[in-house]
Structure formats: C-alpha cells, structure tokens
C-alpha cells in the first residue's frame, strides 16, 4: 500500500480551510490503510516561523503523520536529476516569454485561455542566443499530447489540457508542477487529496509522472472553504486561524468540531470521524464559513460564544 500526504506551503498560519483539507487528507489515507506523510513545500514561499506554527496547529487538531517531515528546500538534487533526464531525452526547451507575452497570446482570437501557445517551442539556436542577451530563460516541457485523463474520487474521470508547462523557472527554481510530481513519486504517494482549485493541474502532473517513470496517483479534489461573499477563504476574512479563533473565545476542540460538522461527521474526535468516514457521503458544495454564527453554512459548533 502506498501513502497519502498533506503538503502546506509555509507562507503563514493555516486557516480553517487549510485545516479542513488536512483533516480530509488524513481521513482518506487512514481509512484506506495508507501511511500519511507531511511535506513542507518551501521552495519559494517560506516565511520565518511559519512552518513550526503550521505543524503545531495540525498537531493541536489531533493529526498525526508517519516518518520524518520532508522539505522541498532539501531535495534540490532530486529535481535536478529529473530535469537532467528530461533534457537528455530532448523533452525540454528554453522559453523567454514574459507573463505579459503569454497573456496577450492567450487573449488572441485563437488562443486558449491560460495555456502556453508554444511561442518558443521551435526557436533556432541563433534566436535563443539573441534572446538570452535580453533575459534569462525558463525550461518548458515539450509535450506530445493536448490533454490527459486522471481519476478523481469525487469528480470521476477528468480530462484536462496539457500544454508545454514550465518545469524550471527563469530564476532556476524548480516549478511547482515538477517538484510535486518528483516528490510524490519518490515518496510512493499514490493518493493525493487537495482543494478542487487544483483539479485542472492534475492532468499535467500525471502526464509528467508517466514521463518520469512514476505511476500517477489517484486524486480526491475536495470542495474549498469560502467566505460569506463566496470567495476562497483567506486570513483577511477575520477569525479564521486557530490563534484568531482562540482570541475570540473559540478553542481548538470547537474549531475541529466546526470542521467535522461541515463534513457531516461526528465531532467527538478524529477517531470517531474516521470510523464514520465515507467519501461517497462527503458534501460536494463548498463550505461557506463566517465568523457570524448566524451566517448561512456555518452551523453553530459546540463552544461557539453566544
């Protein structure tokens, strides 16, 4: 049996939406007798002290993980090996496009929104040399398909666009799509649970996994937590972190009960929730959260101040 994982970016404290996804990842892994791994995705968004705060909050919620914590910042050799392998096979090319270049190409009459149009795919060596004088290049994957299909526990068969995506940024930092694939493959992770805002990236990542010789994982892209205005929950939305909730008189147990209630699960403990967990019964709509106990979608968990 493989493994599941939770992989936060240490850019700040986790909010309730992050913690809800972490609990779901734990429930999916434990209910299928997989190991549950913790990975810190700190390639470019690390804030001093954020990792320790996040891990403390996860432990306070009752989550446990197996083995040592893995940090992307300590795995540069693995990413370099993958990039070297792809380069030797002729599957990479230099790209000099700016974000503006790509946005303008995507907005053209025949452009596909959000996808790379292949502008630098067939540059001559002379063209590349001239462009290197102007700006550093990124490395893109020379894909051989237009789309790829993955299996998702909640969304079923999902087919998404696969364009020539970046694997090494022009600042020589491995791109997320490469790092996450290499990490999941190296850690024997065969179950990925994360927010459904990342569903569209799964086909690209599964395609790359196959190129690198890894078995693509199964996915469960779970509904996000939204604020009262219907936007993705963020720390600016008020009391949404454990520390903020504690300052408002809401303890960790009540915060966890709030999350479990939103999933239709028993609120006594994570173990009770695990016993009752059935992916087929999970809500398919986003969780609308508000610090107002009378707001739609929040419910009124045990311990909410009157």
Point out the annotated binding site. Answer: 5-9, 41, 95, 97, 116, 120, 176, 194, 235
Which domain covers residue 258, as residue numbers?
Answer: 3-73+235-288
Residue 125 inside a domain? The answer is yes
Point out the annotated binding site for Zn(2+). Answer: 95, 97, 116, 120
Do 41 and 51 fall into the same domain? yes
Residue range 76-81: average pLDDT? 98
Q: How confident is the model at residue 303 (pLDDT cuts 50, 70, 90)?
A: very low
Whose CA is closest to 215, among 143, 147, 150? 150
Residue 302 inside a domain? The answer is no
Q: DSSP labels for 110-152?
A: TPPTTS---TTTT--HHHHHHHHTTS--EEEE--S-SEEEEEE
- Dist CA 259 CA 229 (whole Å): 19
Q: What is the CATH number of the domain that holds 172?
A: 3.40.50.620
Q: How confident is the model at residue 291 (pLDDT cuts 50, 70, 90)?
A: low
Q: What is the DSSP letter of 11?
A: S
Least confident range from 83-92, 102-111, 160-169: namely: 102-111
Do 100 and 213 fall into the same domain? yes
Tell me: the pLDDT tens digits for 33-64? 999 999 999 998 778 899 999 999 999 999 99
Do 41 and 94 fall into the same domain? no
Do 90 and 212 fall into the same domain? yes
Residue 40 inside a domain? The answer is yes
Do 147 and 216 fall into the same domain? yes
Do 117 and 28 fall into the same domain? no
Q: Are 61 and 19 in contact (CB under 8 A)?
A: yes
Do 84 and 178 fall into the same domain? yes
Q: What is the 3-state secondary structure (H, E, C) of 28-81?
A: HHHHCCCEEEEEECCCCCCCCCHHHHHHHHHHHCCCCCCCCCEEHHHCHHHHHH
Do 48 and 148 fall into the same domain? no
Do 51 and 86 fall into the same domain? no
Residue 301 inside a domain? The answer is no
Point out the annotated binding site for ATP. Answer: 235
Tell me: the pLDDT tens digits for 234-285? 878 888 999 999 999 999 999 999 999 999 999 999 999 999 999 999 999 9
Residue 25 inside a domain? The answer is yes
Do 35 and 152 fall into the same domain? no
Question: How confident is the model at residue 290, as a pLDDT?
Answer: 75
Check residue 215 and give left, alpha or beta (phi > 0: left; psi -120 to 50: alpha).
Answer: beta
Tell me: the pLDDT tens digits for 2-30? 999 999 999 999 999 999 999 999 999 99
Residue 181 inside a domain? The answer is yes
Given 176, 197, 222, the domain boundary residue is: 222
Q: Whole-prediction pTM value?
A: 0.91
- Dist CA 188 CA 2 (whole Å): 6
Question: How confident is the model at residue 111, as a pLDDT?
Answer: 54
| 287-288 vs 166-168, strand pairing mode | unpaired
Do 43 and 84 fall into the same domain? no
pLDDT above 70 covers a percentage of the chain that reads: 92
Residue 246 inside a domain? The answer is yes
Q: What are the residues facing 140 on neighbouring strands?
A: 93, 166
Tell me: the pLDDT tens digits for 112-121? 667 899 999 9
Q: How many domains does the chain have?
A: 2
Do 98 and 148 fall into the same domain? yes
Point out the annotated binding site for L-glutamate. Answer: 5-9, 41, 176, 194
Q: φ, ψ for residue 152 (rounded to 5)? A: -125, 135
């Amino acid at each position: 049996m493989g493994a599941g994982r939770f992989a936060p970016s240490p850019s700040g404290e986790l909010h309730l939406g992050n913690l809800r996804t972490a609990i779901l990842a734990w429930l999916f892994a434990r209910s299928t007798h997989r190991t549950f791994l913790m990975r810190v995705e700190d390639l470019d968004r690390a804030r001093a002290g954020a990792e320790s705060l996040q891990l403390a909050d996860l432990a306070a919620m009752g989550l446990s993980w197996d083995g040592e914590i893995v940090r992307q910042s300590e795995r540069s050799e693995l990413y370099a090996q993958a990039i070297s392998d792809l380069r030797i096979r002729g599957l990479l090319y230099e790209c000099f496009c700016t974000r503006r270049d790509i946005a303008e190409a995507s907005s053209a009459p025949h452009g596909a929104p959000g996808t790379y149009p292949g502008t630098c795919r067939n540059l001559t060596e002379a063209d590349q040399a001239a462009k290197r004088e102007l700006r550093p290049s990124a490395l893109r994957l020379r894909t051989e398909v237009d789309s790829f299909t993955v299996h998702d526990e909640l969304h079923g068969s999902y087919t998404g666009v696969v364009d020539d995506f970046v694997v090494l940024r022009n600042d020589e930092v491995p791109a997320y799509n490469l790092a996450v694939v290499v990490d999941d493959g190296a850690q024997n992770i065969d179950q990925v649970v994360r927010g459904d805002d990342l569903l569209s990236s799964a086909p690209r990542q599964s395609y790359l996994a196959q190129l690198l010789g890894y078995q693509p994982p199964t996915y469960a892209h779970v509904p996000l937590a939204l604020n009262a205005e219907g936007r993705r929950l963020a720390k600016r939305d008020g009391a949404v972190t454990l520390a903020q909730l504690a300052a408002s008189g809401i303890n960790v147990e009540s915060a966890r009960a709030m999350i479990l209630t939103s999933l239709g699960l028993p609120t006594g403990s994570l173990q009770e929730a695990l016993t009752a967990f059935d992916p087929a019964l999970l809500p398919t709509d986003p969780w609308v959260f508000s610090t107002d106990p009378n707001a739609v979608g929040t419910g009124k968990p045990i311990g909410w101040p009157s």
